[in-house]
Amino acid sequence: MPRNRQDQTKQAKRDEILAAASSLFLTEGYDGASMGKIAAAAGLTPNTLYWYFRDKDELFVAVADLYLARLLQQHATVAEKPLARQLVWLVDSLRPVRHLVATVHARVARSSRIEQWHSGFHRQMETLFEDQLTIEVPEARRAAETAVVTFAIEGAVTHDLDADATTSLCHSLARRLAAG
């Protein structure tokens, strides 16, 4: 049953598709979440998705953007806590979207759309960590230090560490940033 015959705004229908895509990308991954499944979950035919999104990667990026915005917004609630706690929070927040993280890395070479999103994401993370660097860390090392933190966080998210290993890793990273 098609719905959008003016009883829904375009944005509302778009959000419905986004919700369907979001849930399927998380549970089934990029390959598992076919355009057919996503369309069905939104009560549409596959080809109709192309009215709202240029291609699958654009749909994927829209979903990723949604989570990134939510993440940065929620970060405010922990921004004042010690760095180690923030990192644990970050890992816990990203763990549910680990399929998205893996997909970004797998497709970054094939889709310029995803490539763009990816570098934006890393810029966000770097500024987030740079702000917390102790002043003593020499300029030349900053990039390397923040890179280590970002990569380690990504690793912790995509490789399932248990809770103990995660906190241990986060404290180790925080110690490093504080010590320089």
For residues 120 and 123, give the distance between their C-alpha atoms in angstroms, rounded to a whole number.
5
Phi/psi region, residue 29 (left: phi>0; alpha: psi -120 to 50; beta: rest), is left
For residues 100 and 31, give the distance between their C-alpha atoms in angstroms, rounded to a whole number.
11
Nearer to DNA, 58 or 130 (CB): 58
Among 103, 114, 117, 174, binds a copy of itself (CB under 8 A): 103
Part in contact with a copy of itself (CB under 8 A); list of ranges 18-26, 62-70, 127-135, 147-155: 147-155
Among 17, 39, 169, 177, binds a copy of itself (CB under 8 A): 169
For residues 26 and 21, give the distance between their C-alpha atoms in angstroms, rounded to a whole number.
8
In the chain, what are the helix, strand and coil shares in percent, each to the nearest 5?
75, 0, 25
Write the binding mask 56 to 95 for DNA: x where contact by CB under 7 A, - elsewhere: xx--------------------------------------
Binding residues vs DNA (CB under 7 A): 2-5, 8, 10, 13, 31, 33-37, 44-48, 50-51, 55-57
